Amino acid sequence: MGTAILVLMLLVIVLVVVALAKTVRIIPQARAGIVERFGKYKGSLPAGLNIVVPFIDKVRYVIDLREQVVSFPPQPVITEDNLVVSIDTVIYFQVTDPVSATYEIANYIQAVEQLTMTTLRNIVGGMDLEETLTSRDAINSRLRGVLDEATGRWGIRVNRVELKGIDPPPSIKDSMEKQMRADRDKRAAILTAEGQRQSAILTAEGAKQSAILNAEGDRESQILRAQADRESQILRAQGEGQAIQTVFQAIHDGQPDQSLLAYQYLQMMPKIAEGDANKVWIVPSEIGKALEGLGSTMNDLRGIPQDVDGPRVRVDMGSSEPDVPRTGDSTLSSAHAAVEEAIAEAKGAAVGSDRPAAARPAQSSSDTPAPPVPPVDGPPSGPGAAPTP
């Protein structure tokens, strides 16, 4: 008897525990419980602690109200130009009405997947491959609009649709790679040609500027060289003229006679004997007669008197200042000043040497004097010579 009572008490305790377990239901956050009473919808349980009638009410489903992400495997889709591409999609959706999601559709995830595939085939079927690859945003927007409209009565809101990948056939991939490579090679060739063109233009412009500068430099150099040659020739000519005038003036100041000419002839004889062609030189024995004949021959030269009878009038050679054009160059000015100073010193030395010929020692060219020659009445010859008073 006592054992039976103990067993009965244990059964009662088990029934109470089971009843409590069936009565108290805890629903997690962001979820909703669907309660049925005798197989019919009775209500929805919110998140938290809920009390139901045990053995009468039953929590049939617990629906997740959070946003869910479902990735569908790649599906073959035919484009408008009859090319098969594989497209895999990602759907972001959320259950807004747990009752509709439970009783309006048997499996809303499978329904969304199939609806996505059919809608995607319909959209991509009106596009060619190029448009399909470059119109992802347009495909996503159209696909989301169709899915959101169709799944609204299921208590589901589609928030976002993304095309995760669009894979054309391998042959098309190879052709696209070749096209892309050809396009890149074309652009590289164009850029290279443009670079070479710019380089050639810049090189030509640099050569042009260099040629212009070289020509200008050559012109200025030739002008300066010509001016320097001109002034050098002017100075050289003036120097030669001054030297000739000085020698001529010295000859007039010295008043040469026939004896001096004979002496000069004797000095020139060794130079006449020089040279490879003059192997034998014969000196006449009667050198005195030869000199006399030379003196008689030189008597016929005008301007060379036989006897000197006093100093002659000095020849006026004019100004000895060089006429050289002036320039702004400091070096050329200093050269002109040096030349003028040298000419002034020469002129002063020539003036200092002007003294009477009677005070000078008599010159003799040989022991045999030249025969007397009557004085020449005519005027002396030579450049710049003045008549004898």
Residue 86 has pLDDT above 50, yes or no: yes
Residue 307 is predicted with a pLDDT of: 53
98: buried, middle or exposed (CB in 10 Å: 19+, 13-18, 0-12)?
A: buried
For domain 67-168, which architecture applies? 2-Layer Sandwich (3.30)
Residue 206 is predicted with a pLDDT of 93
- The reported pLDDT for the residue numbered 58 is 87
How many other C-beta atoms are found inside a 10 Å radius of the C-beta of residue 309?
11
Residue 360's region, left for phi above 0, alpha for psi from -120 to 50, else beta, is beta
Pick from 86, 66, 63: nearest CA to 76: 86
Q: What percent of the chain has pLDDT over 70?
A: 68
pLDDT averaged over every residue in the chain: 76
Whether 350 and 315 have beta carbons less than 8 Å apart is answered as: no
Distant-in-sequence contacts of 125-129, Cβ < 8 A, 24+ apart: 125/77, 125/78, 125/79, 125/80, 126/80, 127/79, 127/80, 128/79, 128/80, 128/81, 129/79, 129/81, 129/83, 129/85, 129/168, 129/172
Distances (CA, A) of 126 to 79, 167, 252, 273: 7, 17, 126, 122
Q: How far is CA 196 from CA 184, 188, 199, in A?
A: 18, 12, 5
Residue 379 has pLDDT above 50, yes or no: no
Nearest CA among 355, 259, 344, 345 for reference residue 314:
355
pLDDT at 367: 41
Q: Mean pLDDT lowest for which of 111-115, 293-297, 302-306, 377-381?
A: 377-381
pLDDT at 90 over 70: yes
Mean pLDDT of 15-24: 83
Residue with token string 């979820």 = 31
Alpha carbon of residue 110 to chain centroid: 66
Cβ atoms 73, 46 nearer than 8 A: no
The two tokens of residue 91 are 């759907």
HEC per residue, 116-177: HHHHHHHHHCCCCHHHHHHCHHHHHHHHHHHHHHHCHHHCEEEEEEEEEEEECCHHHHHHHH
The encoded tokens of residue 94 equal 């959320």
Q: Which of 111, 198, 122, 204 is nearest to 154 (CA)?
A: 111
Instruction: Provide the 8-state DSSP code for 358.
Output: G
pTM of the model: 0.45
Q: Is the pLDDT of residue 234 over 70?
A: yes
Dihedral over Cα of 295, 299, 303, 305: its sign:
positive
For position 389, what pLDDT does the model report? Answer: 30
* pLDDT beyond 80 at 75: yes
pLDDT at 281 over 90: no
Confidence at residue 376, expressed as pLDDT on a 0 to 100 scale:
37
Task: Read off the pLDDT of each residue in 92-107 and give the average, rounded to a whole number.
Answer: 90
The stretch 196-216 carries a mean pLDDT of 93
Query: 194 versus 312: which is more confidently predicted?
Result: 194
Residue 326 has pLDDT above 60, yes or no: no
**Residue owning tokens 């448009």:** 131
- Would the pLDDT of 370 be above 50? no
Q: What is the pLDDT of residue 354?
A: 46
Question: Is the model more confident about 84 or about 378?
Answer: 84
Q: How many whole angstroms separate alpha carbon 250 and alpha carbon 244?
A: 10
Question: Average pLDDT for residues 6-21, to the nearest whole number?
Answer: 83
Q: 249 near 350, Cβ under 8 Å?
A: yes
pLDDT band at 81 (very low <50, low <70, confident <90, very high): confident
Residue type, 223: I
- pLDDT reading at 355 higher than 50: no
Taking the C-alpha atoms of residue 61 and residue 99, their distance in angstroms, rounded to an integer, is 10
Distance, in Å, from the CA atom of 304 to the CA atom of 296, rounded to the nearest integer, reads: 12
Domain regions of the chain by residue span? 14-64, 67-168, 257-272+286-301
Which of 24-28, 225-229, 243-247 has the highest average model confidence (pLDDT)? 225-229
Residue 296's pLDDT is what? 53
Per-residue pLDDT at 24? 85
- The answer to whether 343 and 246 have CB atoms below 8 angstroms apart is no
Q: Is 158 exposed, middle or buried (0-12, 13-18, 19+ CB in 10 A)?
A: buried
Look at residue 356 in the predicted model and tell me its pLDDT. 42
- pLDDT higher at 73 or 312: 73
Looking at the chain, the whole-number percentage of residues with pLDDT higher than 90 is 20
d(C-alpha 303, C-alpha 255), whole Å = 10
Q: For 242, how many CA atoms within 13 A lie in the half-sphere containing its CB?
A: 20
User: How sure is the predictor about 371, in pLDDT bands with cuts at 50, 70 and 90?
Assistant: very low
Stretch 260-268: mean pLDDT? 71
Instruction: Report the pLDDT averaged over residues 353-374.
Output: 40
Facing residues of 44 across strands?
34
Region 361-383: mean pLDDT is 39
Contact yes or no for 139/162 (Cβ under 8 A)? no
How many other C-beta atoms lie within 10 A of the C-beta of residue 229?
A: 10
Q: How confident is the model at residue 190 (pLDDT cuts 50, 70, 90)?
A: very high
pLDDT at 277: 61
Q: Which of 186-190, 199-203, 251-255, 272-276 has the lowest mean pLDDT?
A: 272-276
Q: Which residue has the higher pLDDT, 293 or 345?
A: 345
Query: Which pLDDT does position 212 carry in this prediction?
Result: 94
